Amino acid sequence: GKHRIVIPCLGHFKEEYEKVSKLYMNNRIRTTKYTLLNFLPRNLFEQFHRVANLYFLFLVILNWVPLVEAFQKEIAMLPLVAVLIIIAVKDGLEDYSKYKMDKQINNLLTKVYNR
């Protein structure tokens, strides 16, 4: 497969380069928003920043109060849960396609020119 390797011609500065290069991040491209560990909490956090989702969450919570209960509690949750799942799947697929594109770009063959 194709890969990307950058090897600078350092000469007698090689030891100094190795010390300094450990302090900095690599130059890989990363456009993804999520990782496997933070997908669910971060996605839910972003989804509940939408006013419509907060409104439906309020209706679900209100429906759990016995005095206000308009219809079955479980049925009140279905629209909100369905929307949250659909948007989470869409965001996950988009982020995975970004991950694949980033991996493809980061593994391209690169030439380093030195005078």
Q: d(Cα 77, Cα 71) in Å, to the nearest integer?
A: 11
Residue 115 lies in a domain: no
Q: Could you tell me the pTM of the whole model?
A: 0.69
Task: Please write the tens of the pLDDT for every residue from 58-87.
Answer: 988 888 887 877 777 788 899 899 999 999
The residues near 112 (Cβ < 8 Å, ≥ 6 apart) are 6, 7, 8
Q: Where in the sequence is the domain holding 92, given as residue range(s)? A: 30-107
pLDDT at 5: 57
**Which amino acid type is present at position 7?**
I
Residue 70 lies in a domain: yes
Residue 43 lies in a domain: yes
Say yes or no to pLDDT of 102 above 70. Answer: yes
Overall domain count for the chain: 1
Residue 58 lies in a domain: yes
Task: Please write the tens of the pLDDT for every residue from 1-43.
Answer: 566 556 566 676 777 777 777 777 777 888 999 999 999 999 9
Q: d(Cα 3, Cα 9) in Å, to the nearest integer?
A: 19
Of 36, 27, 42, 50, residue with least CA distance to 105:
27
pLDDT at 85: 97
